[in-house]
Amino acid sequence: MKNFFFGFFLFIYSVACCAEKFKSEIKLLPNEKCYGAYIAGTFCSIPLKDLTFEHYLPTEKRKDLILNNRGNQVVPLLIFNMGRNVDADTVKSLDNGKITVQLSTNKFGIPYIQKVTDNETSIEYFGDLSSGLALQHRLENSFMNKKTVFKPLSGWKINEDSIYIKAQATVGINQCRLTMHIELMKETALINVYNTISADQPTDVKEFPVLSASFILPDSIQNLQWWKALDYTPQNEIISNSTRLLLNSRIHSSDNYNNVDGNVPYWTISTPNSFIGFSLAWCGGWRAGLNGDRKKLDFDVYLPQNETHLKLNPGEEIKGPELSVFCSPKSEPMLSQKNWKSARSLLAQKLYPSPEIGFPLIYNHWYAVGPDLSERFVNNQVRWFNEYGFDVFMIDDGWYKKMGSWTPSDTKFKANEFNKAIESIRSGGAIAGLWSSPQLTAVNKPLPNYIDSPGFYSPFMKAWLIDYSSIDFNRFMVKHIDTLSNKLGAGWWKFDQDFFAVNSRSGKMRNVIALQNAFASVRKTYPNLIIEACMGGGKMINEFTDRISQIHWIRDGERTGYLHAITNIYEALGAVEFLEPQKVQRWTNRINETDIKTTDLLKFYCRSSMIGTWGISDDLNKISTEQKSVILKEVANYRRLNEIKKDGLIEFSYPTEYTNLVPVVFYNETYTKAAIILYRMFPKNQAATLKLKTKLMSGKDFEFNDVDAQKTTTVNGNVFNLKLLPNQNSAIFFVSIK
């Protein structure tokens, strides 16, 4: 018997040695068990420090086989329990009646999301397979430039306010404390995740964590989707063993810095049973590493070192980026995206109540005369407003004395003439908008202390970026908007130009936080103000700017004509997959200068801007009578389209490079009406017909109106023939149940 036990423990010791040698790791959920096996020189295990020996594997369990790291099937010999198992009383749950978020901490006190499940279907959307080890490893390796020691400080504590059910848990890291915050919105399946860090002594933070986890994905097929910055081209990948994806942006949240492609901070995971949408509320640079296989996705969202530059002072606490996660059972992609966008919009209204603008028709002078404004030009445009039916007159760059002096230029406008022009816009029923870049100011050297150092100088604007931490930036911004809104009469504000420098005296994180706090103060102080987010043409689109703004100038572009129309379509179709359609602004520029020689090409150009919100930038005096007639008819079509577009249900297949016919279908909520824009991307002197099956009710009679053919017919069922004549480049159809 003694020899038996000696041999047995010798065998156990040899297995343990193999485990240490090969380091093949299996990560389990709390209270799950790991079956170790030794076959062909490979032992599959989790690290031994996290295991406790329990007993032999019963015979009836031998059907639970494991694949080793070469894909070979192995026979389980031993069963272990996780040493980092949590007690039941450390697990807390947030439940809003729609989803349940189960939270836990591991033995080191690291907080994590154990799993998120759907209350009605019991679908498990995701769970952290690493039990907090993914975050722990990030903190050990990248949080600070020194060895880290963890100390459990507090488990999950739950409270609530009018918007959220909240939970917080804190772990000590050397002389710092990291608190993970989970906020579950009461009215929808939207979760916010962010971390706060405080310090007892001066601490240099190397990289700031947002969310690190190893997500278990219960379904066998998962599709990952994300979008490029500025052109909004959607990217898709089936998560597999070779998934290695790095999403990022430098300096600003959605920029192509130094000609390196960036991404917008939005991405989704779709499975046969679920849809998960992610959005990051952060105006600065960021990074997300997504590495996966068919069962899990290693998920690491953080601020890299060159986007952090943070030194904490004793007693100081700082809040990091907020990641929003929306979960829903799988449905039509169109409906999943709408629900995702609607949930975020609902939260934005709760946080920052502001008026909805629908789909206005906007006028902007920028691509007509640039900054070369004059009193005469403004008055000449205003006199056409009622005829075109513009809802907004946006006075862009060029109206002020100089950067930092936000009063009307006395060389371009006589005394009080600028105010009179704005009053004439308002009295005509339109909203007067003003452009500004309050973060930039024109000063001479030696630079005053409130200018950032080494800072940023804009040659285009001939101005320097201020240091947000050197002044009361909240008060500064509120006072600035008071000038634009109350003194000059603007009801619409467009913010623009660079907000951050590569190197800054205060550090990048502090600058981003200062900017977001100031913009949030503006939004709350002026709840009726319409805010347009531009920043160099879409370089700072993120969940924060989307919450505080009603519309985005998604991309700069001075082009005009056919090629500009094509880019309008591609960019708008990409952007409306993660932004609400009314927030996606596209333009027709300098119509009188275009290469568009036919009426139909002019229609195509106008319609290229109708996927979202349409704007016109032109000298209205130069538009010919024939062009004006076409535009006014297209304005009427735009208004009619908007009646259906407002429900936010938009269906299309993003066109490839060689796609010719592109139908874009808008539905009302009851699927009894639809509006269809059909684009022909390559002009052809031949007729074309596209048979389109829609989501409208089958077996019903519909009234089918071809706007261009001026013909209405009755169609039974939900399949329609969309026809184009030779040289016809677009068509609009309206469908309604009889």
pLDDT tens-place string over residues 216-269:
877 767 899 999 999 999 999 998 888 899 999 999 999 998 888 999 999 999
Q: In the structure encoding, which two tokens stand for residue 456, read together?
A: 């940023």
Q: What is the mean pLDDT of the chain?
A: 88
Section 403-414 average pLDDT: 94
Summarised one tens digit per residue, pLDDT across range 651-708 is 999 999 999 999 999 999 999 999 999 999 999 899 999 999 999 999 999 999 999 9
8 has pLDDT over 80: no
Q: Which range, of 369-373, 428-432, 594-598, averages the lowest pLDDT? A: 594-598
Query: What would the pLDDT profile of 287-309 be if each residue is shown by its tens digit?
Result: 999 998 777 899 999 999 999 99
Structure tokens given for 353: 């109540």
pLDDT of residue 83: 33
Give the CATH fold of the 362-439+472-650 domain: TIM Barrel (3.20.20)
More confident call, 240 vs 358: 358
pLDDT at 444 over 60: yes
709, 713, 719, 720 alpha-carbon torsion, rounded to 10°: -10
pLDDT in tens, 497-518: 999 999 999 999 999 999 999 9
pLDDT score of 16 more than 50: no
| pLDDT tens-digit series, residues 631-665 | 999 999 999 999 999 999 999 999 999 999 999 99
Q: Are both 362-439+472-650 and 656-737 of the same fold?
A: no
Number of H helices, E strands in the chain: 14, 47
What are the structural domain ranges in the chain? 2-82, 88-351, 362-439+472-650, 656-737
Contacts of 8 (CB under 8 A, 6+ apart): none
Is the pLDDT at 365 greater than 80? The verdict is yes
pLDDT of residue 72: 36
What's residue 12's pLDDT?
A: 45
- Tens of pLDDT, residues 330-346: 889 999 999 999 999 99
Q: What is the pLDDT of residues 267-281, one digit of tens each?
A: 999 988 999 999 999
Cα(19)–Cα(68) distance, integer angstroms: 12
Is the model's pTM score more than 0.85? yes
Name the band, by pLDDT with cuts 50, 70 and 90, for residue 89.
low
Contact 92, 159 (CB under 8 A): no
Q: Is the pLDDT of residue 52 over 70?
A: no
Query: CATH topology for 656-737?
Result: Immunoglobulin-like (2.60.40)
Residue 46 near residue 74, CB atoms below 8 Å: no
Q: Which of 76-80, 219-223, 226-230, 720-724 has the lowest mean pLDDT?
A: 76-80
Question: Which class is 88-351 in CATH?
Answer: mainly beta
